[in-house]
A and B are shown apart, each in its own frame.
Chain A
Amino acid sequence: MYFTVSLAILVTMVLAVIRALKGPSVYDRVLAVNMFGTKTALLLSVVAFLYGRPDFLDLALIYALINFVGVLAVLEFFQKRSAAQGHTTKD
């Protein structure tokens, strides 16, 4: 049962990687990275039970937290770049 679900998540990870490789825009790739991070957290929480060691859920927890920092860093990078190129960011 866990195995079926983890297989589904694995296939989704493959699809996300294909999206990250194809692009075409940089935003698509960031989207794929974000999606991949969520899938990793899910996969780890399922595999922890598949292995019968539920105390390893800490790992999935850290993925759920750290992935967000990566996306925000990318966002700040975009903001810096557009400021450097002279575009005015309006919001």
Chain B
Amino acid sequence: MLEILGYYNYWVFALVLMIGFYAVVARGNLIKKLLGLSMLQSAVFLMYITLSKVEGATAPILQKGVEDQIYSNPLPQVLILTAIVVGVSTTALGLAIVVRIKEAYGTIEEQDILKASGP
């Protein structure tokens, strides 16, 4: 039972990744696409943090006076820490483009934009 649950994180990673991807490809609304994109991003973050976990370990902040403590892997955490802030800035860039599209075409639906811009 517990053996199987050890893979649960990966399944959730797969599900959330693909739910986000579905929003990007199948939904016509541009803001919905960006929400899907940030979900996809979060799924990748979850994957990396899952890789950094070590059984019986604690967060990689050294404790004074505690011997024989194992610590989780700090490297994936560093990569994701910076990626979160970068993710917000790039999402904001995407939203800025959406705002300009709305001003130029009067809509943020993909089909209407394609119709308005001609064949």
Overall SS of chain A's interface: loop
Size band of the interface chain B makes with A:
under 10
CA distance A55 to B59 in the complex (A): 11
Number of A-B contacts (CB under 8 A): 8
A contact residues around B58 at 8 Å (CB):
51-53
Q: Count contacts on A: residues with CB < 8 A to the other chain.
A: 5
**A-binding residues in B (CB < 8 A):** 58-59, 61, 63
A positions within 8 Å CB-CB of B:
51-53, 55-56
Q: For the complex, what is the distance from the CA of A21 to the CA of B103, rounded to whole Å?
A: 32
8 chain-A/chain-B pairs, Cβ below 8 angstroms: A51-B58, A52-B58, A53-B58, A53-B59, A53-B61, A53-B63, A55-B61, A56-B59
A39 → chain B closest CB, angstroms: 20
Query: How near does chain A come to B46, taking the closest CB pair, in angstroms?
Result: 17
A53-B58, A53-B61, A53-B63 known, 5 other contacts, Cβ within 8 Å: A51-B58, A52-B58, A53-B59, A55-B61, A56-B59
Q: In the complex, which residues of chain A have a beta carbon less than 8 angstroms from the beta carbon of B63?
A: 53
- Report the nearest A residue to B66, measured CB to CB: A52
User: Nearest B residue to A56 by beta-carbon distance?
Assistant: B59
Alpha-carbon gap, A16 to B63, bound state (A): 36
